[in-house]
C-alpha cells in the first residue's frame, strides 16, 4: 500500500513506522508498506506519485494519452525544468514547459480513488510528437500519432482546420518546425485507434422507455457517445466531439439540487443517478435498468383537484425536528440513486400520485408529478405565484398541465404540484415521449440559457416541428404572455419541444412546442422589481410595445394579421380573467399570498391595457426601429 505524507499519513507517524520497519521510504514523503510489492505499488500509483512530487507539472507525451506510464515504466511530465526521478521500476521524466502550454483536465483512477490532473491537450500532444531530439517525442508511437490526429480532425471537421488550430498553438510557443511536421502529418488523414484503459473510465448505458439508445463513455479526459444501431427515432446527438451530448447535459441538475448532490462534475452526477426526465435512465448495467419502475400516470391529478387545491394526502418529507430543515430532509431523498434527477434551479421533488390519493416520493414508484415547495429568502410565495401564472396561461388558451396548490405539514407555506405531460397515460398507452429544451436543441450549455433570442428559438423550432405554423403562433403568444405577466425567467430551458413516437415508429410522429411550464411573474419578488425579459425580441428585453411584437412576427414568418389577432385575443383573455382569479380557499388565509395575487393582477392589468391601447393600428412597420 502507498502512503503520502500530508495526504494519507502524517509526517510523525510515517517517521515512526519507518523506524520500526513497517514502512519503507522510497523518496521524501513517499512510503510503501513493508512486505508489499514495491514495484507494483509504484507503477499502480505512478500518476499520483508524480503529482505529489511535482504538483505544478502536467502529464505530457505518451503519458497524456495513456493517462499513466508507458509499458517500460517511464512516466512523462512537463514542468519547470528538465529532470529525472527513479523509484524502483518507475522513472519520472520531466522536460521544460513551453511559454504558453495548452492543457486540459483528466481524471485518473487507482486504488486510492480518483485524482484530477492536468494533461497536454490533443493539439499540444501532436506537437510534442514532433519535437526534435526529445525522449518525450520518441515515446509517442505511430499508432498514438494516428489517434491524436484523428481526434483533432473529428473536433475541427477537416484536416486543414485541425492543422490551422495546431499551427496557432505552435506559433505561440515558437515551435515552428514541430508545427510544419504536424501539418504534413494531419493532411494525410491518419487512421483511428482505440482509446487506452483507465480505472476512472466510465461506460454508461443510456436507455429511453427501457430501450437501450447507446453507450455514454468517458476515458478520464473526454466524453464519447456511441449510439446503438436501432430502428427507432434519434434522440441523443453528439454535436461536439469530447463534450457531453447537449440532450444529456440538459437533464443534469442545477442550482439547489446540484448543491445537495455535492457532485464536482458531470461524471459524478451521472455516476450517482439513474432516473431522469424524458423517460431517460442512465445506468452501469442492464440489471440496474431492469430494477427501475416505468414512469406512467397511475391516476390523474384532476381526480384529487378541487378549486385549485390538492385534496389527496401528502406523504412526503416535512420540516421534522427543529434541527433538521425541510430542505435537508428533501435532500436525503436524492442521496438514493433511484430518486429521479431534475433540472432547473428551483427546489423541487419527484413525486408519485397513487390511486388512493397518496402523494409519495418517487423513489421506487413511477415518477408522475413534480412538487415545488416554497423557497427561502423572500421566495416563500413562489409556488403561489407560479400557480397564478399557470392559471392565467390556461385562461389565455395555452396547453397547461394539471396543477394544484398543496397544503404542507408542519406549518409550511403551500407547495405547487404539477402533473408530468411527458409520460404515458397508463399501461395500455404505448407512445414514447421525450422533452427536449432549447439549450439542447440549439446545442448550448445550461450556463448559456439566457444568451439567445425569441427569433433564434423560432429558427430552431421551424425545421423540427411537425406543425410549424401552429407552433410559431404559440411561440409568439408565449412571448406575449411572458411580457404581460412580467415573466423574466422564460429562458432556453423553460421552453421545449415534446417529441412523441408511436409503437415501432422509426421517427417521431409528432414534434410540437411543449405545454406551458415554469411561468412565473418574477417582478413581484425581492430585488427583481425591474426584472427584464430573459430572452430578447426585436433586440429588446424591456419596454416592449405592439410594434416590437409585430416586427417579431414578421421576422419569424407569422402573418401580421395573425399576430394582431393573437395580441388582441391574449390581452383580452388575461385582462378579463385576472380580475376574477382567486386563490384556493386554504391559501387565502395567508396574507402574503393575497398580496402576491394583487401584485400579479396589477402587472397583468397595466401591461394588457398598454397593449390594447394600440390594437386599432393594424399596419406592420417597414423596418426595425
Q: What pLDDT score does 255 carry?
A: 65
Given pLDDT bands bounded at 50, 70 and 90, which one contains residue 336? low
**Between 259 and 369, residue with greater pLDDT:** 369
Q: Which three cell numbers stand for residue 408?
A: 404542507
| Banded pLDDT at 316 (limits 50, 70, 90) | confident
Which ranges of 281-325 would DSSP assign to H, the alpha helix? 286-290
What per-residue confidence (pLDDT) applies to 342?
64
pLDDT of amino acid 335: 58
How large is the average pLDDT for residues 95-116? 91
Q: Please, what is the Cα angle at 253 between 372 and 224, to 5 degrees?
A: 155
Q: Among all chains, which residue has been given the C-alpha cell 436543441?
A: 441
- Band the pLDDT of 467: cuts 50, 70, 90: very high
CA distance 406 to 417: 7
Nearest CA to 74 among 56, 65, 64, 86?
86
Please indicate whether residue 527 or residue 460 has the higher confidence score (pLDDT): 460
Q: What is the pLDDT of residue 196?
A: 46
Burial (CB < 10 A; 0-12, 13-18, 19+), residue 577, is middle
Percent of the residues in the chain that have a pLDDT greater than 90, as a whole number? 65
Name residues whose C-beta falls within 8 Å of residue 594's C-beta, 6 or more positions apart in sequence.
583, 588
Say if residue 428 is exposed, middle or buried (CB neighbours under 10 Å; 0-12, 13-18, 19+).
exposed
**Residues 206-231, mean pLDDT to the nearest whole number:** 91
Please name the residue ranges forming H helices in 334-420: 382-395
Show the beta-strand stretches assigned E in 151-227. 202-208, 211-218, 223-227
pLDDT of residue 58 exceeding 70, the answer is yes
At 624, the pLDDT band (50, 70, 90 cuts) reads very low
What integer pLDDT is reported at residue 338 of this predicted model?
60
The pLDDT confidence band at residue 199, using thresholds 50, 70 and 90, is: confident
**What is the band of 303 on the pLDDT scale with cuts at 50, 70, 90?**
very high
Buried b (16+ CB within 10 A) or exposed e, 349-373: bbbbbbeeebbebbbebbbbbbbbb
Neighbours of 611 (CB within 10 A): 22
Q: Does the pLDDT at position 258 exceed 90? A: no
pLDDT digits (tens, 9 = 90+) for 143-170: 999 999 988 998 888 999 999 999 999 9
pLDDT in tens, 363-409: 889 999 999 988 777 889 999 999 999 999 999 999 999 999 999 98
* Packing angle of the helix pair 159-172, 176-186 (nearest 10 deg): 170
Q: What pLDDT score was predicted for residue 192?
A: 46
Would you say how long the chain is, in residues?
625
Q: How far apart are CA 312 and CA 304, in angstroms?
A: 6
Beta-strand relationship, 74-79 and 90-96? parallel
Q: How many Cβ atoms sit within 10 Å of the Cβ of residue 527?
A: 8
pLDDT for the residue 195: 42
Amino acid at each position: 500500500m502507498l502512503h503520502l505524507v500530508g495526504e494519507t499519513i502524517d509526517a510523525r507517524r510515517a517517521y515512526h513506522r519507518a523506524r520500526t520497519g513497517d514502512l519503507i521510504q522510497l523518496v521524501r514523503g513517499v512510503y510503501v508498506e513493508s512486505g508489499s510489492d514495491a514495484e507494483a505499488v509504484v507503477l499502480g500509483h505512478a500518476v499520483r506519485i508524480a503529482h505529489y512530487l511535482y504538483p505544478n507539472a502536467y502529464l505530457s507525451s505518451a503519458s497524456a494519452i495513456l493517462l499513466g506510464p508507458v509499458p517500460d515504466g517511464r512516466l512523462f511530465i512537463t514542468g519547470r525544468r528538465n529532470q529525472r526521478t527513479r523509484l524502483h521500476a518507475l522513472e519520472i521524466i520531466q522536460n521544460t514547459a513551453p511559454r504558453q502550454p495548452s492543457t486540459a483536465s483528466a481524471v485518473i483512477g487507482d486504488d486510492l480513488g480518483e485524482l484530477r490532473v492536468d494533461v497536454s491537450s490533443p493539439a499540444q500532444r501532436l506537437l510534442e510528437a514532433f519535437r526534435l531530439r526529445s525522449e518525450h517525442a520518441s515515446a509517442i508511437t505511430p499508432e498514438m500519432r494516428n489517434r491524436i490526429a484523428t481526434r483533432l480532425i473529428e473536433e475541427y471537421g477537416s484536416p486543414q482546420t485541425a492543422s490551422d488550430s495546431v499551427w496557432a498553438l505552435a506559433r505561440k510557443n515558437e515551435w515552428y518546425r514541430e508545427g510544419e511536421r504536424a501539418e504534413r502529418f494531419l493532411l494525410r488523414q491518419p487512421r483511428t485507434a482505440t482509446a487506452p484503459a483507465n480505472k476512472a473510465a466510465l461506460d454508461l448505458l443510456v436507455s429511453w422507455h427501457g430501450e437501450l439508445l447507446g453507450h455514454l463513455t468517458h476515458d478520464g479526459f473526454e466524453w464519447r457517445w456511441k449510439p446503438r444501431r436501432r430502428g427507432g427515432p434519434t434522440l441523443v446527438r453528439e454535436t461536439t466531439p469530447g463534450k457531453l451530448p447537449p440532450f444529456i447535459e440538459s437533464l443534469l441538475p442545477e442550482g439547489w439540487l446540484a448543491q445537495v448532490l455535492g457532485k464536482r462534475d458531470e461524471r459524478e452526477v451521472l455516476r450517482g443517478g439513474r432516473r431522469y426526465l424524458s423517460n431517460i435512465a442512465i445506468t452501469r448495467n442492464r440489471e440496474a435498468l431492469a430494477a427501475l419502475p416505468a414512469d406512467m400516470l397511475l391516476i390523474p391529478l384532476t381526480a384529487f383537484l378541487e378549486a385549485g387545491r390538492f385534496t389527496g394526502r401528502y406523504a412526503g418529507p416535512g420540516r421534522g425536528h427543529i434541527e433538521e430543515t425541510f430542505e435537508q430532509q428533501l435532500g436525503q431523498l436524492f442521496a438514493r440513486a433511484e430518486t429521479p434527477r431534475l433540472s432547473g434551479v428551483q427546489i423541487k421533488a419527484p413525486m408519485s400520485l397513487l390511486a388512493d390519493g397518496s402523494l409519495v416520493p418517487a423513489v421506487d414508484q413511477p415518477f408522475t408529478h413534480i412538487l415545488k415547495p416554497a423557497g427561502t429568502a423572500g421566495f416563500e410565495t413562489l409556488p403561489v405565484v407560479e400557480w397564478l401564472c399557470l392559471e392565467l396561461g390556461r385562461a389565455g388558451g395555452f396547453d397547461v398541465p394539471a396543477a394544484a396548490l398543496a397544503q404542507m405539514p408542519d406549518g409550511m407555506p403551500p407547495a405547487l404540484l404539477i402533473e408530468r405531460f411527458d409520460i404515458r397515460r397508463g399501461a395500455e398507452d404505448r407512445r414514447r415521449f421525450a422533452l427536449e429544451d432549447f439549450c439542447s436543441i440549439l446545442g448550448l450549455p445550461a450556463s448559456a440559457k439566457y444568451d439567445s433570442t425569441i427569433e433564434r428559438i423560432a429558427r430552431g423550432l421551424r425545421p423540427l416541428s411537425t406543425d410549424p405554423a401552429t407552433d410559431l403562433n404559440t411561440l409568439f403568444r408565449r412571448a406575449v404572455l411572458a411580457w404581460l405577466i412580467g415573466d423574466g425567467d422564460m429562458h432556453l430551458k423553460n421552453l421545449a419541444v415534446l417529441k412523441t413516437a408511436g409503437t415501432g415508429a422509426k421517427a417521431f410522429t409528432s414534434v410540437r412546442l411543449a405545454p406551458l411550464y415554469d411561468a412565473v411573474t418574477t417582478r413581484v419578488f425581492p430585488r427583481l422589481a425591474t426584472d427584464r425579459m430573459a430572452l430578447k425580441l426585436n433586440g429588446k428585453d424591456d419596454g416592449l410595445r405592439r410594434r416590437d411584437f409585430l416586427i417579431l412576427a414578421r421576422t419569424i414568418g407569422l402573418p401580421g394579421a395573425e399576430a394582431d389577432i393573437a395580441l388582441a385575443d391574449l390581452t383580452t383573455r388575461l385582462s378579463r380573467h385576472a380580475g376574477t382569479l382567486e386563490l384556493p380557499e386554504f391559501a387565502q388565509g395567508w396574507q402574503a399570498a393575497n398580496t402576491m395575487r394583487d401584485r400579479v393582477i396589477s402587472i397583468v392589468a397595466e401591461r394588457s391595457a398598454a397593449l390594447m391601447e394600440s390594437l386599432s393600428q393594424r399596419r406592420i412597420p417597414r423596418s426595425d426601429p
